[in-house]
Chain A
Amino acid sequence: MHVEQQQQTVNNAKKADKKRRRCLAIIKSDCDVSPSDTPTVYLAILNVGLSNGLTEESLLEAAAQTGGSVSEVAMLTGKSYCFLVCCSLEDSQLVYTGMHNVSTIGQQGAVAYLSYVTALPTLAGKSEWNKPLPSGLIVLPDFVSDAEEATLLRSIAEDGRSYEGTLKHRHVKHFGYEFLYGSNNVDPTKPLEQSVPTACDFLWPRLESFSSSWDWSTPDQLTVNEYKPGHGIPPHVDTHSAFLDPILSLSLQSDVVMDFRRGEAQVQVKLPRRSLLIMSGEARYDWTHGIKPKHIDVVPTATGSLTTQARSKRTSLTFRRLRRGNCNCSYPTLCDSQQSTVPQELSTTLADQAVSLEQQNVHEVYDKIANHFSETRHSPWPQVAQFLDSFEPESVVLDVGCGNGKYLGCNAHILAIGCDRSQGLLAVGQQKGQNVFRCDCLNVPVRSSSIDGCISIAVIHHLASADRRLSALREMARVLRPGGRALVYVWAKEQRRNDRKSAYLRQNKAVNKERTTEQEQRQKQQHELEQRPQDHVSLPVHTNRTEFQQQDVLVPWKTKDEQRTTFLRYYHVFEEHELDKLVAQVPEVELTKSYYDQGNHCVIFKKIAICTARP
């Protein structure tokens, strides 16, 4: 042997040894499995597993070539290693010497490294697959034949419409009614020209055996999803108010794994090609379902261990029936109908408890989060700055609810004075040399008719009754001189306009990238809230960066410190024209302009008459 070759061999062995030690350290910390210096029947394949696409089949094939017999394969979800159990020590030694640094079963033909280990990890066998299915979930394998599959696919393609390319991770086509992804609903008044193809009619008699438990009739809506490898659908629940129970989904062309989640519970379900998935009851209403955008699925083998399966093109036919009304299911967490109905007693309770609610869920919270809140409030909103710039030099402008005073320095040519409830926020402004004082927006301690302009940005939506919100506007009207103008911003319930999301929703990156859905986030938060000992919460808790479901809500604020404490702020988010109507109730002003700006309703009003003394 040449010296160079010898050197090469030594280097290879060194490299393998280094790699082995690194892998063993990972396995040790992951699942507390230790290497063994002497042969055992347990072998770890150190650098190849489910996460790099290893199949049980190819692993067993490689082991068989060594002449050693294997009794068990243990593959772990998401891991780049796996385990073999051999029939005897001799078999184990054969497999070890035959495969270690020899077998090219790794990704792109990479060589595998093996090690004897003292035992199998205790995790093995406790896979996602041994869990019971969500209640109401049924998978009927071989629901259609190969020939029927072909017929269905043909009839869907026949209408000549192409798939819409609007969704990030899949192509869709609708029959009966269009599913509108903006509102996650259908418009029952606008049926499509293309109804559910009659070629699907043969499916329904097959479901008759289930018809006793369901109020069954033929589906009037079909959504066809075409998934290529790597495509997926974020976890969601089909909008309760849009569709009845159950929901049917036929898998064609290839298998896929679907994830079902509820709180922390997660169940994976394999949907074989030509099977029918039935989601009813709890599975339809309370579990989200989704498909991860992956190229390879991990699936159970006939013997109960795990292997991988490459995805290929899959078409799903989801059949649903329109509900045409409110949903009254027994699963309120994800029920849009029930989440958006306000209990009768709530507005009376709110009015009665307005003072204490604002104290606890507005004032106290702002004082606690003042510094962190202030850090997040630095850039002035352009249209507010524009309003401030519209004042003549030497005008006196009062910012009611000035917070950290970010608007007080906007226009250097005016005398800007700010007031706020929060001492913590005022201190930030005072440090910057701004003119501030502390008061409540319901009792502004300023001379009547003395001010040229007023702004109140994101303030009166913290007041817990319509009367109080009106009083705040009256105070602004009172302090304005005749001809003086005010700009008021409040948060809008509607966070989407002309199919465009507000800046607030646009910051929900996970939803925008279709990694998850608002429903999934709501479900998670609901779960979190249930976990923590909660002071009495009588109001629904909003999920940040999702659309509002109600007008009176508690909005969480998570601190950035290690504790990640969650504070709940009370908000009354405004319906369209609600603010205009409040302004109309203030006699001495007239509405100049009303507009929508990035998820806020905004008004500009002008004082018309000389204000008399306060009532």
Chain B
Amino acid sequence: MKLSTYNFLTSMAIKGVKVGFPLKLTISKKELVETEFNPTFVERLLPKLDWSAVYGAAQVAELAEDIPAVQPESIVDNEQLLQKLHHLLFEIDVLEGQLECPETGRIFPITDGIPNMLLNEDEV
């Protein structure tokens, strides 16, 4: 699971859960995948992402120093930050770990790079 994908996931489908976001991320095994840096892509994708989850992911991935806690007003000219965001969002692949619902504590395991968000019938 790339951390860009993580940014979209919620546990709101669980019965009684209101927001279910951001999910609490734990990484026990990750892989670095080098991909081509496209600053425009990162910049234009940002409005679609939730910054709190970007920042949260950076903390878990031990890249907190690179990413500010508050989203900067303009990022177009900040190529350095764009590069760091690119690395965070597209180059870290979480192979093993888990996602935890912030409201119920329900754990969703990440195995072989695939988060299992499947819910049991009695949970929805």
Contact = CB atoms under 8 A, between A and B. Distances in A.
Given A394-B44, A396-B45, A452-B48, A437 B114 contact: yes
Contact of B10 (A413, A436, A447): A447
B66 interface: no
A257 B33 CA distance: 70
A433 B116 CA distance: 17
Given A394-B40, A435-B5, A445 B48 contact: no
Contacts of B124: 442-443
Contacts of A419: 117
Nearest to B8: A446
Given A393-B41, A393-B44, A445 B117 contact: yes
Given A437-B117, A445-B10, A445-B12, A394 B4 contact: no
Contacts of B50: 447
Given A394-B45, A435-B1, A435-B2, A446 B9 contact: yes
A311 interface: no
Interface in B1-45: 1-2, 4-5, 8-13, 18, 20-21, 33, 40-41, 44-45
B56 interface: no
A438 B45 contact: no
A302 B85 CA distance: 92
B38 to A, nearest CB: 9
A447 B114 contact: no
Contacts of A450: 8, 48
A256 B119 CA distance: 65
Contact of B113 (A393, A396, A430, A439): A430
Contacts, number: 79
Given A393-B44, A445-B11, A452-B48, A417 B116 contact: no
Contact of A614 (B12, B113, B121): B12
B97 interface: no
Interface in A382-412: 393-394, 396, 398
B33 A433 contact: yes
B118 interface: yes
Contacts of B119: 439-440, 443
A355 B121 CA distance: 9
B31 to A, nearest CB: 10
A469 interface: no
Contact of B114 (A421, A430, A440): A430
Interface in A418-437: 419, 421, 423, 426-427, 430, 433, 435-437
A321 B118 CA distance: 57
A427 B114 contact: yes
Contact of A438 (B4, B8, B33, B115): B115
B79 interface: no
Contacts of A573: none
Interface in A591-615: 613-614
Contacts of A423: 114, 116
Given A443-B13, A445-B10, A445-B11, A438 B116 contact: yes
B92 to A, nearest CB: 12
B112 A396 contact: no
A445 B112 CA distance: 19
Contact of B118 (A421, A446, A448): A421
A438 B114 contact: yes
Contacts of B9: 437, 445-447
A393 B2 CA distance: 19
A415 interface: yes
A436 B5 CA distance: 8
A451 interface: yes
B1 A396 contact: no
A436 B21 contact: no
A398 B44 CA distance: 17
A393 B42 CA distance: 11
B114 A415 contact: no
Contacts of A415: 4, 45
B121 to A, nearest CB: 6
Contacts of B12: 445, 447-448, 614
Given A417-B5, A446-B10, A450-B48, A436 B118 contact: no
Given A393-B41, A435-B5, A440 B33 contact: no
Interface of A: 355, 393-394, 396, 398, 413, 415, 417, 419, 421, 423, 426-427, 430, 433, 435-440, 442-448, 450-452, 613-614
Please list the 8 inter-chain residue pairs (A to B) with the smallest Cβ-Cβ separation, ordered nearest first: A443-B13, A394-B44, A445-B117, A439-B117, A437-B115, A435-B5, A438-B116, A430-B113
Interface of B: 1-2, 4-5, 8-13, 18, 20-21, 33, 40-41, 44-45, 48, 50, 112-119, 121, 124
Given A415-B45, A438-B118, A451-B8, 20 more contacts: A355-B121, A394-B44, A396-B8, A398-B8, A417-B8, A423-B114, A427-B112, A433-B33, A436-B114, A437-B114, A437-B115, A438-B114, A443-B124, A444-B13, A445-B10, A445-B13, A446-B9, A447-B50, A452-B48, A614-B12
5 contacts: A439-B119, A445-B9, A445-B13, A447-B9, A447-B12
